[in-house]
Amino acid sequence: MRIASLDHLVLTVADIHATVEFYERLGMQGETFGDGRRALRFGEQKINLHQAGSEFEPYALRPVPGSADLCFLVEGSLDDVAQVLADANVPIELGPVERLGAVGSIESLYVRDPDGNLVELARPH
Catalytic residue among 21, 98, 107, 120: 120
Residue 93 falls within a domain, yes or no? yes
**How many Cα atoms sit within 13 Å of 11 on the Cβ side?**
28
The answer, yes or no, to whether residue 82 has pLDDT greater than 90, is yes
- Is 120 marked active-site? yes
The answer, yes or no, to whether residue 65 has pLDDT greater than 90, is yes
Quick one: pLDDT at residue 125? 86
Residue 1 falls within a domain, yes or no? no
The mean pLDDT value for 10-28 works out to 97
Number of domains in the chain: 1
Residue 95 falls within a domain, yes or no? yes
User: Residue 78 is part of which domain span?
Assistant: 8-124
Residue 75, domain CATH:
3.10.180.10
pLDDT, tens digit, 9 for 90 and up, residues 66-77: 999 999 999 999
The answer, yes or no, to whether residue 121 has pLDDT greater than 90, is yes
Cis peptide before 96 (omega within 30 of 0): yes
The mean pLDDT value for 18-30 works out to 97
The mean pLDDT value for 96-103 works out to 96
Residue 62 falls within a domain, yes or no? yes
Per-chain mean pLDDT for the chain: 96
Residue 107 falls within a domain, yes or no? yes
The mean pLDDT value for 30-56 works out to 96
Residue 3 falls within a domain, yes or no? no
The answer, yes or no, to whether residue 50 has pLDDT greater than 90, is yes
Residue 2 falls within a domain, yes or no? no
Among the listed residues 61, 50, 65, the one whose alpha carbon sits nearest the alpha carbon of residue 9? 50
The mean pLDDT value for 106-113 works out to 98
The answer, yes or no, to whether residue 13 has pLDDT greater than 90, is yes
- The span from the CA of 2 to the CA of 34, in Å, is 29
The mean pLDDT value for 111-118 works out to 98
Residue 29 falls within a domain, yes or no? yes
- The span from the CA of 96 to the CA of 75, in Å, is 15
